[in-house]
Amino acid sequence: MEKGIREVLVSGPLASFPVHDVRVIIYDGKSHPVDSKEVAFATAGRKAFIDAITKARPVLLEPIVSAEVTVPDTYIGAVTGDLSSRRGQITAHAGYRPVSRP
């Protein structure tokens, strides 16, 4: 079961990001020398952990970065759209200055 749980910790049940700062305790379990297989226990551990963490309502921690981007006027829409598609938030303009072209 530990193997299945560790797989979920690395790959993450939420958006394929790793899980941090959790403790897992298995209270009960039985094995049979003939019918028990390692893959069955790993699958059971994986499914139980995913079920438990889903019920715990985890929060996805995302990095916050402040960046200043300078682009030509023709690309402002494309850059703004790209940042928005990556969940970026444009909070203010540092100062719009038209660039004189020779």
CA distances from 7 to 17, 50, 62, 67 (A): 12, 11, 21, 35
- Identify whether 96 is part of a domain: no
Q: Is the pLDDT of residue 102 over 70?
A: no
Model confidence pLDDT, tens digit, residues 34-91: 777 888 888 989 999 999 988 988 887 777 888 888 888 888 889 888 988 888 887 7
**Cα–Cα distance for residue pair 81/79, rounded to 1 Å:** 5
- Identify whether 48 is part of a domain: yes
22, 58 Cβ separation under 8 angstroms: no
CB under 8 Å, gap of 24 or more: what pairs does 58-64 form?
58/13, 58/14, 58/19, 60/14, 60/15, 60/17, 62/87
Residue 101 pLDDT grade (very low, low, confident, very high; cuts 50, 70, 90): low
**What local confidence, expressed as pLDDT, does residue 91 receive?**
72
Structural domain of 49: 2-55
- Identify whether 45 is part of a domain: yes
Q: Is the pLDDT of residue 96 over 70?
A: no
Q: Into how many domains does the chain fold?
A: 1
User: Full-prediction pTM beyond 0.85?
Assistant: no
- Identify whether 95 is part of a domain: no
- Identify whether 20 is part of a domain: yes
- Identify whether 68 is part of a domain: no
